[in-house]
Structure 1
């Protein structure tokens, strides 16, 4: 009797798990026997795009603030000094180099400083 109850509970848990997945989205299709079935939609395992865009925008704004505060010449001198360091420092110097987006941010922020 307990084994029958165990198999019943196992099946109920499997059905509940599938229903939770179907509630998040599903795809309806007809299988080869002609039965209409629903399959849970696969979720994306990636990072949200909005979060990445916000991080990139903050990074460009920070670089623009540094360029506006120090001036482009002094900023380039500090980057050249940073590029002579360890591999980590060289990577940071590459990431912090001036590009058009940070120049625009610097031009916007310069009058505010």
Structure 2
């Protein structure tokens, strides 16, 4: 019985010391509970994927493709994409990325109403 209590005590002391060292390094955040009590908690630290940046990059990419399609017109745009698809491996990847998909068509139709 004493060993089990001592082991759980050591585990609790280890968790407290780990939390104190993280708080001393400055990775903390203050959280207000439902009852108004302010607690200082250790912020979860680790690698995170930048989902917002990826989403905004895709949004800008499709908007620029739509702008190109609206400005050049369907025929010219398709002929330039076909030239890319007939080129080197890198140009073929660019041609695949720049093909006129439904999102690009919708963006081009929306932009076309404003530029003409």
Structure 1 residues 73 and 86, CA, compared in 2 at 3 Å: closer, same or farther? Answer: same
State the partner residue of 2:44.
Answer: 41
When residues 39 and 97 of structure 1 are mapped into structure 2, their CA distance, relative to the original with a 3 A threshold, is same
Shift of 1:47: 3.2
Q: Show structure 2 runs of 5+ residues with no match.
A: 1-17, 31-40
Q: TM-score w.r.t. structure 1 length?
A: 0.64
Report the TM-score when normalising by structure 2: 0.63
- Alpha carbons of 1:42 and 1:110: their partners in 2 closer, same or farther (altered >3 Å)? same
- Cα RMSD after superposing both structures: 2.6
Other-structure match for 2:71:
69
Residue correspondences, number: 87
* Residue matched to 1:102: 104
Gaps of 5+ in 1: 1-13, 26-37
Contact 1:60 1:105 survives alignment (8 Å)? yes
